[in-house]
Structure 1
Amino acid sequence: MTTWHWVRHGPTHQKTFTGWRDVPADLSDRAALDRLNAHLPDDALVISSDLIRSVDTADALQGTRTRLPHDPSLREFHFGTWDGVGFDTVSDWHPDLSRAYWEEPGHHTPPGGESWNVSAARVAAVVRRINAAHPGAHIIAVAHFGVILTQVQAVLGVSATEVLGHKIDNLSVTTLLPKSGSATHINHLP
């Protein structure tokens, strides 16, 4: 059984929707990176989304681990026209849709973006492909808040609404054993 160690990229300090915009991560907290690195298995394969905040975080954790190519299917949710816009502004633009997007995640789609369900299917395809290519391996996947939540949802078998209550901090690891139905979440904070 493949074990997934989902790492959320370093903080971006953005106060807006941050999906497919390519913004850098703040990786100045070496102590937090060292704690995270010490927790992760040395023999794991490393993969990340192709966005710079994930790529740079994965680079900081790679060490002697084998690196798989960056995968654009591990990108954060595509927020469309909401990307880079403040939450209050989006609420003013689309009050009903913006509320439904978070309160009833699933098929609601931001203008020009993708829904929770579409994002979850995109990520699930990568997980299936990697599981088939590397059975029994440990995978360190450096990705994003929404991406990690879709996988917690899949493993726990809960609704998107229920999984939104989970906290996924920057530079934290969420270890998932997909077929066993178990999940652990460990925060590594300064």
Structure 2
Amino acid sequence: MAGVNALQWLNLTRHGESTGNLAYLAVEGTDAEETGIRERDADVPLSETGRAQATALGRWLAALPEDERPTMVVASPYLRTLDTARIALAQTSYAAPRDPGGLTLRVDERLRDREQGVLEGLTPLGVRRRFPAEAERMARLGKFYYRPPGGESWTDLALRLRSFYRDLEADVPGGRVLVVTHDAIVVMTRYLVEDLSEREVLEIEKEPVANASVTRWHHDGGGLRAVSYNDRTHLTTAGAPTG
């Protein structure tokens, strides 16, 4: 995709485990219609495990060779992503706030999670019971194109990400960027960078993007090439819980 191919390194990480993730797990397989999450999606915090994962991510960043270290860090404005970025960067000497040459954490709302609209806070069972017409429409259209009332489709994510990456190219051509974001954004970045089809990206999406996992691309002279996807090695080697 034009834009990101001007970068030297593109690194994406999902936020550490959040209390929202735990809430979803707690109702999985039950007859609950709601997840029980009371905060706005933007205000859902990290769990203690998530904070440990963010620390392990920071140790991985600190150990990167100098020519792979990020020259820019951009995060979703949501609390769980911002805290993941701040905790991780605090582990690195080259990103220390007291260093005048250190990295600045930028925030970009285009990196926020996919908006669910009227379906926010509902379990799959809750959607089927409370919005049966929407459940039927979702099944007919498929998750790639389905847009819930007041929410976003996966293709809507692609539109805002194309804009984000075009601006990123203009800001740091040849740069090394770390993006701290959400699982859907990681998946859709693969869709854009690797020029995938609907079928291919939905097959990839079947494997959950792990909390604090790392996905990387490197410019090989002809464009960005995949280095790793959903890599959790830095968590297990640091003894951090993988969630």
TM-score, normalised with respect to structure 2: 0.68
Which residue identity lines up with residue 98 of structure 1 in the other structure?
A: M
The aligned length equals 187
Structure 2 letter corresponding to 1:21: D
* Pairs within 5 Å for 1:178-189: 179-185=223-229, 186-187=231-232, 188-189=235-236
Q: 1:1-190, aligned counterparts within 5 Å?
A: 1-2=6-7, 3-12=9-18, 13-15=22-24, 16=35, 21-22=41-42, 23-28=44-49, 32-40=53-61, 41=64, 43-44=69-70, 45-63=72-90, 64-65=94-95, 66-92=103-129, 93=131, 94-100=134-140, 104-163=142-201, 164-177=205-218, 179-185=223-229, 186-187=231-232, 188-189=235-236, 190=241
Q: Distance in 1 between matches of 2:81 and 2:207?
A: 20
Sequence identity, in percent? 25
CA–CA distance in structure 2, aligned partners of residues 174 and 180 of structure 1 = 12
Instruction: Give the 3-state SS of the residue equivalent to 1:176 in structure 2.
Output: strand
Judged with a 3 Å threshold, the aligned counterparts in structure 2 of structure 1 residues 17 and 144 are, in CA distance, closer, same or farther, namely: farther
Q: Work out the CA distance in 2 between the residues paired with 1:9 and 1:172.
A: 8
Query: Residue 17 of structure 1 contacts residue 82 of structure 1 at CA under 8 Å; is this kept in 2?
Result: no
Aligned residues of 1:155 and 1:183 also touching (Cα < 8 A): no
Deviation at 1:105, TM superposition (A): 3.3
Q: Give unmatched runs, 5+ long, in structure 2.
A: 1-5, 25-34, 96-102
Aligned CA distance change for structure 1 residues 17 and 125 (closer, same or farther; 3 Å) = farther
Do the aligned residues in 2 keep the contact of 1:49 with 1:75 (CA within 8 Å)? Answer: yes
Query: Matched residues in 2 for 1:10 and 1:100: separation?
Result: 33
In structure 2, relative to structure 1, the CA distance for the partners of 1:150 and 1:183 (3 Å cut) is: farther
Rg larger for: 2
Give 1:84 deviation, angstroms: 1.3
What secondary structure is seen at the aligned counterpart in 1 of 2:23?
coil
* Shift in Å, 1:183: 4.5
Superposition misfits of 4+ residues, deviation over 6 angstroms: none
Query: How much has 1:106 moved relative to structure 2?
Result: 3.2
Measure, in 2, the Cα distance between the counterparts of 1:126 and 1:99.
30
2: CA distance, partners of 1:111 / 1:31: 36
Counterpart secondary structure, 2:136:
helix
Output the CA distance in 1 between the equivalents of 2:117 and 2:50: 31
Deviation at 1:129, TM superposition (A): 0.9
Q: RMSD over aligned Cα, in angstroms?
A: 2.5
Larger relative helix fraction: 2
CA contact (8 A) 1:17 1:79 kept: no
Residues 168/83 of structure 1: CA separation in 2 closer, same or farther (3 Å cut): same
Q: Which runs of 5+ in 1 are unaligned?
A: none
What TM-score results when the alignment is normalised by the length of structure 1? 0.85
In 2 relative to 1, CA 34–132 (structure 1 residues): closer, same or farther, beyond 3 Å?
A: same
